[in-house]
């Protein structure tokens, strides 16, 4: 699955992804497989697998993104700050 980082809560180590399927996914820094947490900021393209709700999850929780990695065409952020358009071409 592909998506775009929508929000990163730096001090808590998690964030949300807007998936290409229109759904919003929760991710935790422990779910990263091919990215550093500092490379993630709103607008960064990512690829991930989906882990649907598990027993014990709160009702209404977002499905979880796991095995999170930067997409091939992604421009990584620097310390959670997206690069300006002038630098990304």
CATH code at position 46: 2.40.50.140
Task: From 85, 51, 65, 88, select the one nearest 5 (Cα to Cα).
Answer: 65
The pLDDT of residue 89 is 47
> 47-66, pLDDT tens digit by residue?
999 987 655 556 666 789 99
**What pLDDT digit, counting tens, does each position of 3-28 carry?**
999 999 999 999 999 999 999 999 99
Structural domain harbouring 79: 2-88
The number of folded domains in the chain is: 1
CA atoms of 22 and 73, how far apart (whole Å): 20
Evaluate if pTM is beyond 0.85. no
Euclidean distance between CA atoms 52 and 45, whole angstroms:
21
């Amino acid at each position: 699955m592909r998506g775009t980082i929508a929000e990163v809560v730096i001090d808590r180590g998690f964030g949300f992804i807007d998936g290409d399927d229109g759904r919003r996914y929760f991710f935790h820094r422990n779910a990263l497989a091919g990215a550093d947490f500092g490379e993630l900021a709103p607008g960064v393209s990512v690829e991930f697998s989906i882990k649907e709700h598990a027993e014990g999850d709160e009702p209404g929780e977002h499905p979880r993104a796991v095995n999170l990695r930067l997409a091939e065409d992604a421009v990584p952020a620097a310390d959670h700050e997206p690069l300006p358009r002038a630098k990304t071409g």
